[in-house]
Chains A and B, each alone.
Chain A
Amino acid sequence: MRQRGFPLFPLVRHTLLLAWAAVTLFPIYWMVMTSFKQAAEWVTWPPRWFPHEPTLVNYVKVLTPGTSTFELGRQTLKILKPIGDSLIVSGIGSLIAVLLGSALAYSWARFGTGGRSYPYNILSIRMVPPIVIAVPFVVYFVTLRLLDTYTGLILVYLATSLPYVIWMMLAFVEEVPVELERAARVMGASRWKVLRSVVLPLTASGLVVTFLFVFILNWSELLLAMTLTNTEVSTIPIQLNKFQSANEGRDYGPQAAIGTIATLPVVVLGFLIQKHLLRGFSFGLLRK
Chain B
Amino acid sequence: MTAAGAPGAGGLRRWLERERVFKWLPFVPVQGLFALLLLPNFLLLVYLSLLSWRITRGAWWNAAFTGLDSFQRALEDSRFLWALARTFAFAAVAVPLELLLVFGLAMLCRRSFRGRRIYTSVFLLPMMIVPAVVGYDLSMLLIDQGPFNQLLSLFAGRTVTVRWLSEYTPAQLAVIGADVWQWTALTFLVFTAGLAGLPEEPIRAARVMGASRWQIFWHIELPLLKPVIAIAVILRSMEALKMFDYPMLLTQAGPGNATETVAVYLWRVGWEFARVSDAAAMSLILLVAVAMYILVAIRVLRRERRRLTEEGAV
Decide if A and B touch, CB cutoff 8 A: yes
Q: Does residue B170 face the partner (Cβ distance < 8 Å to A)?
A: no
The answer to whether A267 touches B133 (Cβ under 8 A) is no
Interface members, chain B 163-192 (any A CB < 8 Å): 181, 189-190, 192
**Complex alpha-carbon distance, A107 and B19, angstroms:** 10
Q: In the complex, which of the residues A10, A113, A236 contacts B132, with contact meaning CB atoms closer than 8 Å?
A: A236
Question: Mask for A91-128, Cβ within 8 A of B = 1, else 0?
Answer: 00000000011011011001101100000100111111
**Complex alpha-carbon distance, A284 and B305, angstroms:** 8
The answer to whether A222 touches B244 (Cβ under 8 A) is yes
**Complex alpha-carbon distance, A28 and B124, angstroms:** 12
What are the residues of chain A within 8 A of B252 when measuring CB–CB?
245-246
Question: How big is chain A's contact interface, by range?
Answer: 35 or more
How many chain B residues touch A (CB < 8 A): the figure is 107
Q: In the complex, which of the residues B17, B23, B130, B228 contacts A190, with contact meaning CB atoms closer than 8 Å?
A: B17
By beta carbon, the residue of chain A nearest B24 is A113
By beta carbon, the residue of chain B nearest A278 is B193
The answer to whether B108 touches A17 (Cβ under 8 A) is yes
Main secondary structure of the interface of A (DSSP, over half): helix
The answer to whether B227 touches A132 (Cβ under 8 A) is no
Question: Mask for B218-241, Cβ within 8 A of A = 1, else 0?
Answer: 000000000110010000001001
The answer to whether A30 touches B141 (Cβ under 8 A) is yes
**Complex alpha-carbon distance, A243 and B140, angstroms:** 12
Contacts known (A110-B23, A135-B48, A278-B196); A236 close to B140, Cβ less than 8 A? no
By beta carbon, the residue of chain B nearest A216 is B128
The answer to whether A131 touches B26 (Cβ under 8 A) is no
**Complex alpha-carbon distance, A100 and B1, angstroms:** 27
**Complex alpha-carbon distance, A136 and B39, angstroms:** 11
Contacts known (A125-B34, A240-B130); A20 close to B123, Cβ less than 8 A? yes
What are the residues of chain B within 8 A of A74 when measuring CB–CB?
none
What are the residues of chain A within 8 A of B23 when measuring CB–CB?
107, 110-111, 113
What's the least CB distance linking A15 to chain B, in Å? 10
The answer to whether A45 touches B136 (Cβ under 8 A) is no
The answer to whether B130 touches A219 (Cβ under 8 A) is yes
The answer to whether B128 touches A132 (Cβ under 8 A) is no
Q: In the complex, which of the residues B37, B123, B140 contacts A24, with contact meaning CB atoms closer than 8 Å?
A: B123
Q: A120-B302, A244-B135, A267-B128 are in contact. List 6 more A-B contacts (CB 8 A).
A: A107-B24, A113-B24, A123-B298, A132-B45, A223-B267, A237-B245
Closest 7 CB pairs of A and B: A286-B197, A103-B26, A240-B132, A132-B283, A136-B44, A111-B23, A259-B133
